[in-house]
Structure 1
Amino acid sequence: MKGNPIQFAVTAGHLEAGSSGNASASSLGKAAIFYTAYARLDLPKTTRPVTFIFNGGPGGASAVMDVGFLGPMRFDWNAPTFALADNPNTLLDKTDLVFVDPVGTGYSKAIFPNKNDDFWGVDDDASVLADFIIQYINANQRQESPKYLYGVSYGGIRVPIIGRMLIESGTTKYTEKKDSKNVLAGLILNSPVLDYEADCLSNDAPCGGNLPTYAAVVADWEKSLERSGKPIEAIPDDLGAFVRDYNKYYYSSFSGVDNRKVKDRTKWEAFLKQPEAPPFLDRLYRLTGIGKIYAPGDSKANNPWIEEPNMNSFEFSWFFDSGEDRMLLLADGRMTIKLSDTDPAFDRRPVFDPLAQRYQREFIGYSSNLGYMGSNGEVIDNWDFRSHHPDDPIKPDREVSSIPDLSASLRLNSDLKVLVQHGYYDLNTPFYQSELVLAALPAAMKVPVKLYEAGHGIGPGDGPEAKLVLYSRVLSDLNTFYDRPQPDGVLTAMRSPLPETVQP
């Protein structure tokens, strides 16, 4: 790494995990969890950091997080046939790596008489994976290693919940060295969704937190009338007040408007007759290039914002003028696909799976008569997103949020390090929405949100020369995170106090 060769060992296989683990999983069955682990041989493993890595979905396996992303190897796309090359930006330089496949992905399966879908819920998933981590720690004598969790996308839900479970369990499940102080050192959340209740793509919620992403996308397409030569870093500050106004108007005037359902437009139609309406709609037009300058008599026939004032990412990608018969890519609004194509965010075809299986067979030496399940759409179709708050007396059917788990972890372990990474152009999990959600944490618990000129899933891997500056920044921030002995206490990277999220 960094021009210096290092020796490492790679292992792959299954560990049995389940009801013997976290106390909250007492009724949970058992599963065989598949993993791929890389450990340096030139450093003592007892004190070397180890990071457990999870993909999102839910329903995503970890191989795509391994080869060419965080692991030590990458595919050599310039070779005429299947070939591998060193990944010079692997995190193996800082930490041993364990890539974990949740039940129903990769080769991970429930152990009879349990079924895979027994584990397809927020808490059941987190519990069996927390127990896997305990089993791995005990089997590999990693009790004293600083331990990190890394999650992408849905990992923003999964990882904080697993983290809380591990902190609450402490060392009680360790088979030795129960006096270890290294229960959990840190969490890395890459392009996370943190609160589905606040996610307007999947729930009835204000889309104000999406507006800075829309503005960043438009600015990159050079269609913004508001940029005026300002750097992209200025967009969130410039829009903070308008985001607050937008969310206020949502609750007062257009929460009943949704063109995907038949709802009540009465308050919205009344708002359109008020003096605040023209400047509000004009600002949306100038930010996005969608619609027009408002004039009395305008209707949903000539202005999409009148039809759908709470425009989510998918609707924005559809209405934005990105070229004939094309729409924006949700993972990166700087790119487009044909209207007839399936966005990769919803595409479940196993494009990567044969490569992953060949890598496992030819490099690791692991083979299976099963097909590697890199993306299992059946998982997300049957996932219980409400299983995390079954006892909520105020709203028992609420969607899941990991913010209470993150808060609990920071209270229990004040030395816990947390890093959140987002891309400006990620329409899948907009960055400012995460900042709004994280603003609910007490001041002493604020965590840094690092922003990059990137889309969804920000990796440190190598690539085209134009991306090398981005990759070096990502890697530098990750290195700083691992090197930092303790958190800064309060967030110094945040630009200014975030606007309040107005609640009904």
Structure 2
Amino acid sequence: MPDTATSEMTASETGKAADAKPLADQQFTTRHAVTIGTERIEYTANVGRIVLHDDEEHSTPKVAIFYTAYVRDDVPSKRDRPLVFLWNGGPGSSTIWLHMYSYGPRRVVFDGDPLFDTSRWELRENEHSLLDVADLVFVDAPSTGFSRVAPGEDPAQFHGAEADAAVIGDFVTEFVAREKRGDSPIVLFGESYGTIRAPLVADYLQQVPGLFVDGVILLSSLMDVAGTTFGVGVNYGAVGQLPSYAATALYHGVISGDLPTVIAEAEDFALNDYSVALLKGSRLTGAERERIARRLSELTGISAEFILRSNLRVNLWRYVKELLRDRHRTVGRLDTRWTGIDSDTAGETFEDDASYSAPTDPATRALNQYLRADLGWEADRPLLYRHIRPREQWKHRESEQMGIWTPQLEVATVLRAAMNRSPHLKVLLLSGYYDLGTPYFPAELTFDHLHLEPERARNVTKTRYESGHMIYLHEPSLAQTRADLVGFLSSLRGVDAA
């Protein structure tokens, strides 16, 4: 069924009519092949929805979760073959980015460098896919993508950190049961807010159905929102952003040096002189303030005068506008290698994040066409790649540490608890140097402050790439992440994943 408007009914009316229909399980199956390396791999693609019900005796449908699953055909036993569930974040984003740009059997490939032109692209076989070593399930959260809430149900019941984790956990449980994959290594792969979802889902699965996952992959992670927070008495954001500011200034030629040296100097300054100076606040002497501002200027490319006027804290919104102001350009938030143009150069922040806008159109066009033409999906309404307005609707969770409740959204301690319950659970952290949305340094510092015992700490692997938030948009980084992911997946349960 086409999802475009007709002469009798508008697209909005079509969507409302579709939402009024009772939910039903759906699955469309097609068979394909992809070449990865020198190997031609045949696989089955299943695209559809699984309806989840409430727990009452007379069970009623609550929500239908949309998924696209890719399963390699020539594997005699699934016992040692990882089953990876992938999702993007938002909250409120469908899994369009991971699906169309990263590790599935097809991906959008640009004719040139996407930093400069995303208008020319093609959907091609993906030589960087993980399908040779793992089966993949791309999942859309409720109210995103083609997932649908049952008629009469309030979508807001799923719009919160813990409720979201529960419904995704229920989907994982149901999918594993239906596909008879209970003996396979189970891996949760989240990007951005999806890295908040993944620990919560791992915890939920352990405590509700008793399913202990084998791996958690965190791409562009923010398990503690303090890592990007600026404000009175809040130092974590300023300290955590500094190395990414330095990498950005170096990339755009505002400062000089080589990346490893600049990064090392920025991290050292952030952890020592800068963090102490921020803690002192107004107790700093004038000479100390001048010294700190000069060094920050050398590392970030922002003038010492501007830094002093900002009380030594240049938040990311000012940074993306200020760094290239004299060139009449802004830099991206999700990927600072991208540049944008505003209507004027006098503002406090950019008018648009080019690193978010530029990849959106190709992914949306490609996914809509691909699901229908190649995978046989019969959509009942248009794709909602980003639907929930998180600030207005999303219910965050309070965190508890050592019996003390705080309003700060933080799930790292949830992951620590899951790791302590499950000695075989392994974690892989993938971060980009040019990401200001979920910067690499606070993501790593979060693990440093979990105080894991040595035998648990050995289960955590941290990696960095010369890319931004969507690490896979940088071709060399996509190739390197694939290699690192293959190694990680192959290490689960100490067996070869292929």
Return the TM-score normalized by structure 2.
Answer: 0.80
| One-letter identity of the residue aligned with 2:466 | E
Counterparts of 2:172 and 2:139, CA distance in 1: 9
2:242 aligned with 1:214: no
Q: 1:381 to 1:167 in 2, by over 3 A?
A: same
Note if contact 1:18-1:127 (Cα within 8 Å) is conserved in structure 2. no
- How many residue pairs match? The answer is 435
Q: Deviations over 1:136-194 (max 9, x none)?
A: 0111111111110101111121111111111233547xxxxxxxxxx311011001111
Note if contact 1:417-1:486 (Cα within 8 Å) is conserved in structure 2. no
2:494 aligned with 1:482: no
Higher helix share: 2
Q: Of residues 461, 470, 478 in structure 2, which corresponds to 1:448?
A: 461
Higher strand share: 2
Q: 1:353 to 1:238 in 2, by over 3 A?
A: closer
Counterparts of residues 175-186 of structure 1 (less than 5 Å):
183-186=212-215
Counterparts of 2:161 and 2:267, CA distance in 1: 34
Counterparts of 1:46 and 1:234, CA distance in 2: 46
Could you say which residue in structure 1 is the equivalent of 2:279? 251
| One-letter identity of the residue aligned with 1:221 | H
Residue 44 of structure 1: CA displacement?
3.4
| One-letter identity of the residue aligned with 1:426 | D
Counterparts of 2:42 and 2:419, CA distance in 1: 35
5+ residue gaps, structure 1, are 22-27, 173-182, 254-266, 293-301, 462-466, 488-504
5+ residue gaps, structure 2, are 1-35, 113-118, 344-350
Counterparts of 1:343 and 1:311, CA distance in 2: 18
Q: Of residues 268, 275, 278 in structure 2, which corresponds to 1:240?
A: 268
Counterparts of 2:319 and 2:91, CA distance in 1: 24
Counterparts of 2:132 and 2:68, CA distance in 1: 17
Q: 1:380 to 1:140 in 2, by over 3 A?
A: farther
Could you say which residue in structure 2 is the equivalent of 1:100? 139
Note if contact 2:185-2:492 (Cα within 8 Å) is conserved in structure 1. no
Question: 185-194 or 81-90, which moves further after superposition?
Answer: 81-90
Note if contact 2:92-2:143 (Cα within 8 Å) is conserved in structure 1. yes
Q: 1:49 to 1:204 in 2, by over 3 A?
A: farther
Q: Of residues 27, 30, 33 in structure 1, which corresponds to 2:65?
A: 33
Residue 324 of structure 1: CA displacement?
2.9
Note if contact 1:419-1:481 (Cα within 8 Å) is conserved in structure 2. yes
Note if contact 2:244-2:433 (Cα within 8 Å) is conserved in structure 1. yes
Counterparts of 1:66 and 1:421, CA distance in 2: 17
Could you say which residue in structure 1 is the equivalent of 2:127? 88
Counterparts of residues 316-465 of structure 1 (less than 5 Å):
316-321=319-324, 323-340=326-343, 341-344=351-354, 351=361, 352-385=363-396, 387-389=397-399, 394-396=404-406, 398-443=407-452, 444=454, 445-446=456-457, 447-459=460-472
Paired residue secondary structure (1:157) = helix
Note if contact 1:10-1:37 (Cα within 8 Å) is conserved in structure 2. yes
| One-letter identity of the residue aligned with 1:378 | R
Counterparts of 1:276 and 1:187, CA distance in 2: 43
Counterparts of 1:165 and 1:20, CA distance in 2: 16
| One-letter identity of the residue aligned with 2:428 | L
Q: Of residues 135, 157, 161 in structure 2, which corresponds to 1:122?
A: 161
Residue 34 of structure 1: CA displacement?
0.6
Could you say which residue in structure 2 is the equivalent of 1:56? 89
Q: 1:86 to 1:242 in 2, by over 3 A?
A: closer
Counterparts of 1:365 and 1:411, CA distance in 2: 43
Question: 356-365 or 340-349, which moves further after superposition?
Answer: 340-349
Q: 1:144 to 1:125 in 2, by over 3 A?
A: same
Residue 218 of structure 1: CA displacement?
1.3
Q: 1:6 to 1:430 in 2, by over 3 A?
A: same
| One-letter identity of the residue aligned with 2:478 | Y
Counterparts of 1:95 and 1:49, CA distance in 2: 5
Q: 1:232 to 1:127 in 2, by over 3 A?
A: same
Question: 375-384 or 206-215, which moves further after superposition?
Answer: 375-384
Q: Of residues 144, 150, 158 in structure 1, which corresponds to 2:183?
A: 144
Paired residue secondary structure (2:468) = coil
Counterparts of 1:20 and 1:347, CA distance in 2: 41
Could you say which residue in structure 2 is the equivalent of 1:306? 309
Counterparts of 1:238 and 1:328, CA distance in 2: 19
Could you say which residue in structure 2 is the equivalent of 1:500? none
Residue 334 of structure 1: CA displacement?
2.1
| One-letter identity of the residue aligned with 1:149 | L
Q: Of residues 38, 47, 64 in structure 2, which corresponds to 1:3?
A: 38
Counterparts of 1:243 and 1:53, CA distance in 2: 34
Percent identity for Structure 1 against Structure 2 = 26
Q: Of residues 181, 194, 199 in structure 2, which corresponds to 1:155?
A: 194
Residue 224 of structure 1: CA displacement?
2.2
| One-letter identity of the residue aligned with 1:38 | Y
Counterparts of 1:66 and 1:74, CA distance in 2: 7
Residue 2 of structure 1: CA displacement?
1.0
Counterparts of residues 216-295 of structure 1 (less than 5 Å):
216-224=247-255, 227=257, 230-232=258-260, 235-236=263-264, 239-253=267-281, 267=282, 271=284, 273-292=285-304
Question: 478-487 or 235-244, which moves further after superposition?
Answer: 235-244
Counterparts of 1:81 and 1:325, CA distance in 2: 26
Counterparts of 2:419 and 2:413, CA distance in 1: 10
| One-letter identity of the residue aligned with 1:455 | G
Return the TM-score normalized by structure 1.
Answer: 0.79
Q: 1:202 to 1:3 in 2, by over 3 A?
A: farther
